[in-house]
Amino acid sequence: MKGFAVMRIIRSVSSMQRLARRWQRQGVRVGLVPTMGYLHEGHLSLVRRARSLAGKLGKVVVSIYVNPTQFGPNEDFSRYPRDFARDTAMCRAAGVDVVFAPSNDQMYPADGERNFSTYVTEETLSRGMEGVTRPTHFRGVTTIVAKLFNIVQPGWAVFGAKDYQQAAIVRRMVRDLNFPLRIIVAPTLRESDGLAMSSRNKYLAGDLRLQARVLSNSLRKAQALVRESRSALGSTALKKELKRFIEREPAARLDYVEFFDPQTLIPMPKVTRGAHMALAVFVGKTRLLDNARL
């Protein structure tokens, strides 16, 4: 991008921390976009948001790191899509200043007495939804995000709204542990057919890609039912109706659907306008997430 300096790729924690401290001494504004790579237009929308906040004099850091601690047993850590050359080219074109791409040894040192043994846990917002299905997932998320905040020292960090529960948990962690930064949550970007953009969409071959539209169609169906109802809808009955709707697709299997208060994430037994809905669905072997306000 014209007007921006040459992008740097930094792989060591100590080098990134030295640069972050130098920026702090110089009063440079820094924004962070944490990613696991295999970037798509949704990620680039987060980069653009960070770039607009930083301005020409500020810095934008994109972290690219497939974090092993947020994957459970038998999940897709080993086959999670990776294409570092493509990712860095996209970052360079988007005006990113630094790509921070550490190794596992950098982030989780294992060297005798230095073995990594400290984790960050959030104990309220993480109980439901993803926390039930993937009980160790958010411990891995909060730990790696806290480490990135300490390493990069950003003034703000940009997350996507597709992972609604994750964004809420990161916000709570920042508040509870007094991290001196602001969390920005940018809207979910969607494909032309409504499917939320995700790195895991790469797994959807042939007819699975068409069937995956059932997630966004379910959101629209729930929104219409709530909008057209003259009274609150019972969440149990609504969940059953959506399960039937989703599993009419031969390769789709509902993991969960939940209706909750958008601030507290507390489940709502009666669903009205203003509630939030989130769901996880297996389409073939690929597990996809989506959410929307009703």
Answer whether 258's CB lies under 8 Å from 266's CB. no
Answer whether 290's CB lies under 8 Å from 200's CB. no
Strand 30-35 and strand 233-234: the pairing is: unpaired
Answer whether 46's CB lies under 8 Å from 158's CB. yes
Dihedral, CA of residue 166, residue 105, residue 18 and residue 53, to nearest 10: -20
> Please, which residues have CB within 8 angstroms of residue 60's CB and are 6 or more apart in sequence?
30, 31, 32, 33, 47, 50, 51, 54, 95, 96, 97, 98
Dihedral, CA of residue 102, residue 103, residue 107 and residue 113, to nearest 10: -140
> Please, which residues have CB within 8 angstroms of residue 13's CB and are 6 or more apart in sequence?
102, 106, 107, 151
The reply to whether 43 belongs to the active site is yes
Largest CA distance in the chain: 64
Neighbours of 30 (CB within 10 A): 24
Backbone angles phi, psi at 122, to 5 degrees: -110, 135
By annotation, the residues acting in catalysis are 43
